[in-house]
Structure 1
Amino acid sequence: MMGPVLAACLLIILSTAWISQANGATCKKDGGVCTCNDQTKNVDCSSKGLTAIPSNIPVDTNRLELDYNKLSSLPHTAFHSLSSLTSLDLSYNQLQTLPAGVFDQLKNLETLWLSENQLKSLPPKIFDKLTKLTILWLDTNKLQSLPHGVFDKLTELKTLYLSTNQLRRVPDGAFDYMSKLNRITLENNPWDCSCRDILYLSNWIREKKGTVSNIEAAECDGGTKAVLEITEEEAAEDCVYPNTTTAIPTTIITTLASSNDDDIPELPVPQENFQKFLGYQEPDHLPTQPQCLMSISGYLGLMMSLVLTSAAILYVIHFLKKA
């Protein structure tokens, strides 16, 4: 009767090993590129030259470090299986944009690093699901504007880094819902103090001076004056920025309407634009060679585990029939 007992033990061991491999295939212990700590639930994938996020990151990961890599884009489902994350570090990469909804499943996230990238803009509502966020790093990017209401859901935010960008203004009410904010960095931005749009920021800084640290460091473009010192007389212009939608001048519309079709030159359409017109889109990213090898080794290990598990099951059935 020892045969079935041994077979059952073997079955349990193999099943446990298979589950461990399926969950941790991205970690070094299983041939992956990242370092995983089972006790702290931390996964360190920093400084690996990654151009895409590794697959099979354990779903119970608490802290994920992807800093100092070569990520230039993210698929919108990049973190949808990692709802346990409380800390995500994407700093020191080459991100130029963020897909809408990429953070929507990270409802437990408390700290988000996006510093030292190449972000020029943010999608509307990109942070709306991050209601537990307390620290947000957006400094040292190329942000030219902020969507209206982009921080409205961040009621728990205590620290916001916006320094060293290309911001000329912030939308009215941009910081009104962050009642727990105690530190913000606004310096090294070309704040346009000649436009009426700057008055919200100027008034907000004066109101929060003494309760929110570092806000006095914000200076007008050229460093001639602090933003908090701007008066309504100085910010008298109604400025229109390049990213603001404006109407097409009527002279252009009239000219186009009176033009003959024969006078309009035929413009060549680049192949990639034609493909986009037809609805063709490139995938979010292509796997790198190490990731392909990692996936192949993971599949081979999985198949081997299934074969051994099947053999153990047949072994148990054989002895049960004999008994």
Structure 2
Amino acid sequence: MMGPVLAACLLIILSTAWISQANGATCKKDGGVCTCNDQTKNVDCSSKGLTAIPINIPADTDRLQLHMNKLSSLPSKAFQSFTKLTFLSLNNNQLQTLPAGVFDQLKNLETLWLSQNQLTSLPPGIFDKLTKLTRLDLDRNQLQRLPNGVFDKLTSLNDLRLQYNQLQRLPKGVFDKLTSLKELRLDNNQLQSLPHGVFDKLTELKTLSLQNNQLRRVPDGAFDYMSKLNRITLNDNPWDCSCNDILYLAKWLATNLERHAGANCDQSSKAVLEITEEEAAEDCVYPNTTTAIPTTIITTLASSNDDDIPELPVPQENFQKFLGYQEPDHLPTQPQCLMSISGYLGLMMFFVLISAAILYVIHFLKKA
């Protein structure tokens, strides 16, 4: 006969097993794809090879993990029922776009991971409802630009990561509302310049990474308002030390040795902080090569007679469009024309010779 102690132990074991099974039962409706826990309100759907978000995830979920899947798109109402969500991971998927308003109902969200996707742009206002967000990861995407005001509502944000994208420039005032930001990572992009005053409102910032971009200078006073900054990385940029615009950065680095990783001149291995006014005496001129017209060409054209203006080559495809052709290959090139004429003459000569031979045969037969 079973003793009372052994029976009690068995009852505890069975109860624990039943509770554990009940905790996982909330996700069994979708075939048991996700691991769920009613106590922690945690739903883990990571690393399942998912191409769509599973149905019947509990509406009171606090943490939803969807990373390491194959999600290539999201429905615009994908998260509308998860109003209690504080953590959402969508990193390491194949997302190329985000539908407008997809996060609008996540008003309690504190952490959002979107890193290692294929995002090339962000819809305007995509984060406007996430007023409690403290961490946003957008690193290792393919972002080429940021919409104006994209972070304006994220006044609680502490950590923003944008490294390993393709950003070439930043909108003016893009970080002005992030007065609580403590860490900003912009390294491994293609930034060619920084807007004046871009960091002025980041008075709480402690870490700033700008290494491995295409920066040649920073605006005067760029770092003056970040009094709490204790770590900045500026290496692996083509700093132009021949230009006097580098002097602000050189002086700032020299007086903040304990706060930065080294930055070297592009023309040499010399440290930027060692540059003197005599070495950086040139005025800075960085023309916009994509739109600027060389002044020499304008001067030459303005001072020349009509006969002196050189003939400009017209691209073949433009000439063809002018003539009304739809495809470039409809208009033969000069070698093609020569080949066509020679072929035509050869064919005519062939017919002449054949005709002459036939007439000769007929004449010979008549005499015979």
TM-score range, shorter chain: 0.5 to 0.7
Which residue number in structure 1 is paired with residue 295 of structure 2? 249
Give the secondary-structure state (helix, strand or coil) at the position aligned to 2:160. strand
Q: Which residue of 2 aligns with 1:239?
A: 284
How many residue pairs match? The answer is 238
* Residue range with higher mean Cα deviation, 46-55 or 153-162: 46-55
Aligned 8 A contact 1:187 1:219 in 2: yes
Q: Where does residue 249 of structure 2 map in the other structure?
A: 201
What is the alpha-carbon distance in structure 2 between the residues aligned to residue 27 and residue 256 of structure 1?
Answer: 65
Q: How far is the alpha carbon of 1:255 from its aligned partner? A: 3.6
Q: Does 1:179 align with 2:224?
A: no
- C-alpha change, 1:29 and 1:108, in structure 2 (3 Å) is farther
Q: Distance in 2 between matches of 1:30 and 1:95?
A: 33
- After superposition, the CA RMSD in angstroms is 3.1
Normalised to the residue count of structure 2, the TM-score between the two structures is 0.58
Residues 167/208 of structure 1: CA separation in 2 closer, same or farther (3 Å cut): same
Residue 228 of structure 1 corresponds to 273
Q: Is the 8 A contact 2:155 2:178 kept in 1?
A: yes
Q: Which runs of 5+ in 2 are unaligned?
A: 1-51, 58-63, 68-78, 319-368
**Alignment match of 1:159 (pick from 199, 207, 214):** 207
Pairing partner for 1:60 from 108, 116, 124? 108
- d(CA) in 2 for partners of 1:179, 1:59: 32
Q: Percent identity?
A: 54
Relative to structure 1, is the Cα distance of residues 27 and 130 closer, same or farther in structure 2, using a 3 angstrom cutoff?
A: farther
Q: Deviations over 1:2-32 (max 9, x none)?
A: xxxxxxxxxxxxxxxxxxxxxxxx9645479
Measure the CA separation in 2 of the matches of 1:64 and 1:127. 18
Query: Residue 138 of structure 1: which of 168, 186, 189 is its match?
Result: 186
Contact 2:65 2:89 in 1 (8 A): no
**What secondary structure sits across from 1:228 in the alignment?**
helix
Deviation, 1:250, is 8.4
Deviation by residue 1:260-292 (Cα, 9 ceiling, x = unmatched): 9xx999x97xxxxxxxxxxxxxxxxxxxxxxxx
Shift of 1:256: 6.5
Give structure 1 stretches of 5+ with no counterpart: 1-25, 269-323
Deviations 1:88-127 (A, max 9, x none): 0000000011111111111111100000000011111111
Counterpart in the other structure of 2:148:
100
Partner SS, residue 204 of structure 1 = helix
Q: Which amino acid aligns with 1:162?
A: L
The residue matched to 1:184 in structure 2 has which SS? Answer: strand
- 1:242: how far off? 2.7
- Structure with the greater alpha carbon radius of gyration: 2
Is the contact made by 1:27 and 1:33 (CA closer than 8 Å) also made in structure 2?
Answer: no
- The answer on 1:168 being equivalent to 2:223 is no
Does residue 44 (structure 1) correspond to residue 89 (structure 2)? The answer is yes
Q: Is the alpha carbon distance of 1:82 and 1:233 closer, same or farther for their aligned partners in structure 2, counting shifts above 3 Å?
A: same
Q: Distance in 1 between matches of 2:108 and 2:194?
A: 33
Q: Which one scores higher on RCO, CA 8 angstroms, separation ≥ 6?
A: 1
Where in structure 2 are the equivalents of 1:23-34 lying within 5 Å? Answer: 28=54, 30=56, 34=66
Give the whole-Å Cα distance in 2 for the aligned partners of 1:240 and 1:184. 27
Matched, 1:77 2:125: yes
Deviation of 1:252 (Å): 1.7
Amino acid in the other structure paired with 2:174: I
How far apart, in 1, do the equivalents of 2:131 and 2:304 lie?
58
Aligned to 2:355: none
